[in-house]
A and B are shown apart, each in its own frame.
Chain A
Amino acid sequence: MTDLEKRDLTIESAVGQDLPLRSAEAITTEERTQFQMIVTRFLRHKVAVGSLAVFILIVLFAFVGPLLWRYDHTIDRSIPSDEPPSWDHPFGTTRAGQDVMGQVMRGTQQTLKVGFLVALLTTGIGATWGAIAGFYRGRIDSIMMRIVDVIIVIPILVVVLVLAGFTRGTTWLSVALIIGLFGWTSTARVVRGMVLSLREQEFVEASRAMGAGDARIIFRHLLPNTAGVIIVDATLVIATAILVEAALSFLGFGIQIPDTSLGLLIQNAQTAVFTRPWLFYIPGIFIIVIVLTINFIGDGLRDALDPKQQMVRR
């Protein structure tokens, strides 16, 4: 909008009566910061917001729960075995004498810890990898992306299985490290794509003209602009990581006794689907709800960060 001074000119007599001319006034709109706009758009997605609430509840359940609940996941002689859900044991008990709620709390906690650590690792490795590849292009990009191709050839569960199996990685930390070590490929690709298009923009040239070095440009200017894409990709990665960890534990190569994981709980309950359903369904439902809410949140974030999406209300 250009600012124009008001001028008072009048039309010449050819038009008859004198009518005062004026110049247009700037049209004003309410200013909103980008962050506020993103938050507003996110809040419009009721499902995403609801999912966020549920997810927070689950996180509290997993991390704060064990501090408050009287049983943990270990065997306790005083616990009656094979009991369906009751007031004493809202999730029931196992044959060996464990409180399922305590187990599920612990299992969820381990699962979430793996998910978060993996997200951190993959974001760190993947974003840096992708940014460097996208920024330098040419030979460096080729080599880096070939490496990514090599990693992708083998399905991640298989790679993780092999490594975890051979190292007998049994703690949540080792599982998370292994998954994180190979799970960053999608983030790398996504960030590379964004950097490739971002680097063509003028602010890159401008910062270079001001003497900024490569590292500064990459980390201070390019990466922050990819934040949106990274966040959305991160939700996908967390979801995948959680499912991979669960599968790993189910097959016996992940988190092992005496610790517990949701996958491990399900493995023990495989044959109890109809006889002692609480042992099978509850851990399963927990996994499903966690991954579901993460996916919905990711969806909501994607819509909030991409203004081109349109939804028509009826």
Chain B
Amino acid sequence: MEFPTDDGLVQAVRGVSYELRRGETLGIVGESGSGKSVSSLAVMGLLPKTARISGSAKLQGRELLGLTDSELSKVRGNKIAMIFQDPLTSLSPVYTVGYQLAEAVLAHKDVPKSEAWARAVELLDIVGIPNPEQRANAYPHELSGGMRQRVVIAIAMANNPDVIIADEPTTALDVTVQAQVMEALRNAREETGAAMILITHDLGVVAGTVDRVCVMYAGKLVETGNVDQVFYEPRMPYTLGLLGSLPRLDTTRSHRLTPIVGTPPSLVNLPPGCPFSPRCPIVQPICIEQEPELFSVGIDGQYAACHFHERLIGAKPVDLFPPTTIDEELVAAYDEAPEEVAHEEAR
């Protein structure tokens, strides 16, 4: 998928391919700019007209790319629903919440308004909004961020879709509210029996929720597999880096988080070879010359795009991305008298 811009052609997505089975939850993980949102928007036909898309997207055997807008609009909100990132701007400010929910229903079913309204109230209840009859008459700006996002989820659920795409649903919200939203998403899945694509950059959110994982980098899929495989047996340095940068409660306090140094590449002029090579700790000449394809690794269903995936069997993140300070004495002193050391360090 490419976007023309002032600086040149931006190749937002250079190669993604996945299959979603009924009722399955797929997590798409990646940094900002990795192309994860764009690919889903393309499927829904919601990209600006200047975007060039190639490839195929099939829903239950029916090709979606290339459908006219009016044909696609029958699919959107009906068979595939989408939840966006920022609940503050996702809802129209001039209509009540109930109206916007009822609208979603009326878009695909020819029912009387009162019935649509009743369904709206019902949906608000399912996503866990208290006082649904009253709240339905509220305007979006009168609700909190978490409640607004739940309304958006309710809208997605309205017509019992087969697929729900959640694009960074918790990114714009506080951590405490995240749990509520994820709960609402779980309810949505149970109520509708839909398959879900959860797009996020937060691996923690993905861990407990999804069945399969796709890791994207610089517009390409670089690793995929079921959640256990990717988390416990990663086979691509980027995945290892991501996992290593997760804050964990079970490690000793001595280890600082290890970020992956550098920044993602510009998608305008990608050099040949693996796009991760400038930041990869085990880079070799072949990585710079030849872009790795997705090799099948490990038990079936897992793929990784690294020339040296075999060498990474059993690797842990610290192996590739060692922590930045190893001050043994300081660590020992800290374990004995944390407060004093903290003062020391702060100076």
Contact = CB atoms under 8 A, between A and B. Distances in A.
Q: Do A and B touch each other in the complex, judged by CB within 8 A?
A: yes
Interface of A: 2, 4, 9, 11-12, 14-17, 19-25, 27, 44, 310-314
Contacts of B315: 11, 14-15
Interface stretch (B96-104, B203-211, B275-283): B275-283
A313 B314 CA distance: 49
A34 B320 CA distance: 40
A15 B311 contact: yes
Contact of B278 (A9, A19, A25, A314): A25
B6 interface: yes
8 contacts: A11-B282, A11-B315, A11-B320, A14-B314, A16-B313, A21-B281, A22-B281, A27-B262
Q: Tell me if B's interface is mostly helix, strand, loop or mixed.
A: loop
Kindly name the residue among A16, A22, A314 whose own CB sees the greatest number of chain B CB atoms within 10 A.
A16
Interface in B1-58: 3-6, 50
Nearest to B315: A15
A312 B4 contact: yes
B219 to A, nearest CB: 17
A25 B280 CA distance: 11
Given A27-B262, A314-B4, A19 B282 contact: yes
A24 B261 contact: yes
B236 to A, nearest CB: 14
Contacts of B322: 9, 21
B4 A19 contact: no
A11 B284 contact: no
List the 9 shortest-distance A-B pairs measured between CB atoms, nearest first: A24-B262, A24-B261, A21-B281, A19-B282, A24-B279, A312-B50, A11-B319, A16-B311, A15-B315
B311 A311 contact: no
B4 to A, nearest CB: 6
B267 to A, nearest CB: 14
Given A9-B322, A14-B315, A27 B6 contact: no
A306 to B, nearest CB: 13
Nearest to B321: A21
Contacts of A17: 311
Interface of B: 3-6, 50, 261-263, 278-279, 281-284, 308, 311-315, 319-320, 322
A314 B279 CA distance: 34
A242 to B, nearest CB: 33
A11 B322 CA distance: 9
A19 B308 CA distance: 10
A22 B50 contact: no
Given A14-B314, A15-B315, A25-B278, 4 more contacts: A19-B284, A23-B261, A27-B263, A310-B6
Contacts of A311: 6
A23 B258 CA distance: 12
Kindly name the residue among A2, A24, A311 whose own CB sees the greatest number of chain B CB atoms within 10 A.
A24
A69 to B, nearest CB: 44
A108 B190 CA distance: 76
Contact of B320 (A21, A24, A25, A44): A21
Contact of A21 (B3, B6, B263, B282): B282
B141 to A, nearest CB: 22
Contacts of B278: 24-25, 27
B11 to A, nearest CB: 15
Contact of B312 (A2, A15, A44, A312): A15
Contacts of A24: 261-262, 278-279
A17 B5 CA distance: 44
Contacts of B319: 11-12, 14-15
A14 B261 CA distance: 23
Contacts of B262: 24, 27
B196 to A, nearest CB: 32
A22 B322 CA distance: 11
A119 B322 CA distance: 62
Contacts of B313: 16
B312 to A, nearest CB: 7
Contacts of A14: 314-315, 319
Contacts of A11: 282, 315, 319-320
A313 B261 contact: no
A4 B322 CA distance: 14
A39 to B, nearest CB: 15
Given A15-B315, A22-B281, A24-B278, A312 B261 contact: no
Nearest to A44: B6
B313 to A, nearest CB: 8
Contacts of A22: 281, 283
A9 B321 CA distance: 10
A206 to B, nearest CB: 23
Nearest to B48: A312
A310 B4 contact: no
Contacts of A19: 282, 284, 308, 311
Kindly name the residue among A15, A16, A310 whose own CB sees the greatest number of chain B CB atoms within 10 A.
A15
Nearest to B265: A27
Contacts of B314: 14-15
